[in-house]
Structure 1
Amino acid sequence: MELLPNAASFYRSTLLDDVMPFWLRHGLDAEHGGILTALDRDGSLLDSDKSVWFQGRAGWMFATLFNTVEPRDEWLAAAQSCVTFLRAHCFAPDGKMYFSVTREGLPLRMRRYAFSECFAAIAFAAHTRASGDAMCKEDAVRCYRSFLHYSFTPGATPAKYEPTRPMKGIGPLMMGIVTAQELRENLGDVTIDGRSCSEWIDGFIAELRRDFFKEDLDALMEVVTPEGGVLDHIDGRTLNPGHAIECAWFIMHEGRIREDSELISFGCQILDAMWARGWDE
């Protein structure tokens, strides 16, 4: 019975007294803004290139600590540095976000998918709540709208597979759920492209349940046919228990927010099934 209270205390102290001081001391880029993302365990710099995902994740983390733990000036300043760097350097002229940039913010790599937009959206949303910056709210909504466009509009991105064997992956649904949850938490249940955050979440969970969770296999698939069929090939048979457990967490979190026991039960069903799949006896 003492395990969970002790774990909570351990994780809290490790986060606040070890992890965050490390990144504040070694990661923040005082010269160019944003955060350096390739550090050795002693804080020395391994590579000065910057992950755009990390700019958003770090900005969200600093702002969320400010919002939920304690309003420390150093956390708000760190979040501001990350969102300012995102806004100034991480968008291509057409509005799509890069995957990586140089330390100064020059573009290095663009990926076909739009997950940089998700991490930027949650950073902008959390910083809106922390700072009251109305422009950040607009940026958060714009980033989520861009994610929706590139992830679910046919032809918006280059096809990953040839038409011979079309398939769809679970990743965009998962990212759609958790990003909408963070926007709703920090901005309210805002409407984006005609649906509220809660409505987007409902739709993504419904598709995940209908097409990706297979009762007969007791498994959450990573990829399926566009209609939700099982692909009896290596791509289709490959499972990722860690990824699926992350998905279960998002669904259970939504169930807890809504006090919806059925959603919690569904998340637990995925967790139990994929824990068993991943556990090495």
Structure 2
Amino acid sequence: MTATNQYIKDWAERYRKDLIEDIMPFWLTNGLDKVNGGVYTCLNRDGSLIDTTKSVWFQGRFAFVCAFAYNTIEKNPEWLKASKLTIDFIEKHCFDTDGRMYFEVTNTGQPIRKRRYIFSETFAAIAMSEYAIASGDTGYAKKALALFKNMLRLINTPGLLTPKYEKTVDMQGHSLVMILINTASRIREAIKDPSLDSQINESIDSICRNFIHPQFKALLETVGPNGEFIDSALGRTINPGHCIETAWFILEEAKFRNWDAEMVKTATTILDWSWEWGWDKEKGGISNFKDCKNLPPQDYSHDMKFWWPQTETIIATLYAYQATKNPKYLEMHKQISDYTYSHFPDKEYGEWFGYLHYDGTVSQSAKGNLFKGPFHIPRMMIKSYQICHEIITSNITSPQLY
């Protein structure tokens, strides 16, 4: 076995071991609500409960992760049961009478807050589609598709979703465009429908046409209605982690299309640019925000190191190596992995810290809140294990690096 394949094999084993022995047990023991259903995510460092408020985002995210782990890592009945328990909670408590989903509910499912975003819907949909694959119950795939089509109706019908800004402000954001790529591709694994492929094509076209700005070598978070550059703090914002996540979403689609060359080029360009913007050459890690004109970013957390940009970068660099066989992406994977695994895992209580200062010291030690929970870390481990396994089994080799 070459040194490169040994490197990939070692990481594959690490991802699987950490998922099975650390991440999943932490959340199944401390987060899963076996009384009311669903999952708690507001957990202290030791797993104790800080707040019983339930993030609806994370009901779908956790249900998805449990089913995805079941489908990819091992047929653990505890994971399948947890996925179903959480989906049952979603269906019983997380939808309003208008078909929209809440953003927060109480431990028993009473509504607390509803937001204009449809991200709760996207994660519920991928949970249902992944559970359909795991359980063999095609009814959940049909529910996922129906939810997806309702999302498109909400997005494309003026007046149904509350705008973020006043009517005089005309612009579009990267978040919704990119999440629909992954949502559609995950649902497509369980059920086929023309609307899924159509949305993937539309989203990737929009990213290329509107959000990629070569003059800055950047993918911007906010642009005008036709992709115009907006010279404001908001319009100049680069979110490297988000861009890198988009890169691997596009690489995944390229792979689905037998490694479509143009998509691979688009994705690796986004990855290369975003790495250059995000990688902290002094302290390591991917930073939160940059200004495309190198002006001071407006967000106060701009130089912090959050958990999720690191995990997305681990996936993206492995995917880029699989797609191109270019050893530079394994070197990038080594850099991000060395930083991430030396700073984020909590060796005393398990799981990972989520928020680091720019210098890599822990900002706060809670394991979860309404935005951090069992999603980015376990998804990274599952997806990265899958990619590593594919690389090894396809006998890809490259010059010896280590």
Q: Which residue of 1 aligns with 2:208?
A: 209
> Which letter does structure 2 place at the counterpart of 1:65?
A
Aligned-partner SS, 2:146: helix
Displacement of 1:123: 0.5
Please say if residues 32 and 82 of structure 2, whose CA atoms lie closer than 8 Å, have aligned partners that are also in contact: yes
1:157 lines up with 2:188 in the alignment: no
> Which letter does structure 2 place at the counterpart of 1:250?
F
Q: Which residue of 2 aligns with 1:169?
A: 173
Aligned-partner SS, 1:186: coil
Please say if residues 56 and 116 of structure 1, whose CA atoms lie closer than 8 Å, have aligned partners that are also in contact: yes
**TM-score when normalising by structure 2:** 0.66
Alpha-carbon separation, structure 2, partners of 1:53 and 1:36: 11
Q: Which residue of 2 aligns with 1:81?
A: 85
1:178 lines up with 2:213 in the alignment: no
**Range moving further from structure 2, 145-154 or 19-28:** 145-154
> Which letter does structure 1 place at the counterpart of 2:248?
W
* Count of residues paired in the alignment: 276
Q: Runs of at least 4 residues of structure 1 off by over 3 A?
A: none
Please say if residues 27 and 37 of structure 1, whose CA atoms lie closer than 8 Å, have aligned partners that are also in contact: yes
> Which letter does structure 2 place at the counterpart of 1:54?
F
> Which letter does structure 1 place at the counterpart of 2:49?
L
Please say if residues 230 and 236 of structure 1, whose CA atoms lie closer than 8 Å, have aligned partners that are also in contact: yes
> Which letter does structure 2 place at the counterpart of 1:109?
R
Displacement of 1:198: 1.7
Alpha-carbon separation, structure 1, partners of 2:21 and 2:190: 25
Please say if residues 113 and 150 of structure 1, whose CA atoms lie closer than 8 Å, have aligned partners that are also in contact: no
Q: CA RMSD in A?
A: 1.4
Q: Which residue of 1 aligns with 2:247?
A: 248
> Which letter does structure 1 place at the counterpart of 2:54?
K
Q: Which residue of 1 aligns with 2:358?
A: none
> Which letter does structure 2 place at the counterpart of 1:96?
R
**TM-score when normalising by structure 1:** 0.94
1:97 lines up with 2:96 in the alignment: no
1:225 lines up with 2:224 in the alignment: yes
Query: Where do residues 107-126 of structure 1 align in structure 2 (5 Å cutoff)?
Result: 107-126=111-130
Aligned-partner SS, 1:103: coil
Displacement of 1:8: 2.0
Please say if residues 141 and 187 of structure 2, whose CA atoms lie closer than 8 Å, have aligned partners that are also in contact: no
1:17 lines up with 2:21 in the alignment: yes
Q: 2:75 aligns with which of 71, 84, 93?
A: 71
Aligned-partner SS, 1:108: strand
**CA deviation profile, 1:215-249 (whole Å, cap 9, x unmatched):** 22211010111011000111101111111111111
Q: Which residue of 2 aligns with 1:51?
A: 55
Alpha-carbon separation, structure 1, partners of 2:237 and 2:214: 17
Q: Which has the higher contact order (CA 8 A, sep 6+)?
A: 2
Alpha-carbon separation, structure 1, partners of 2:10 and 2:165: 47
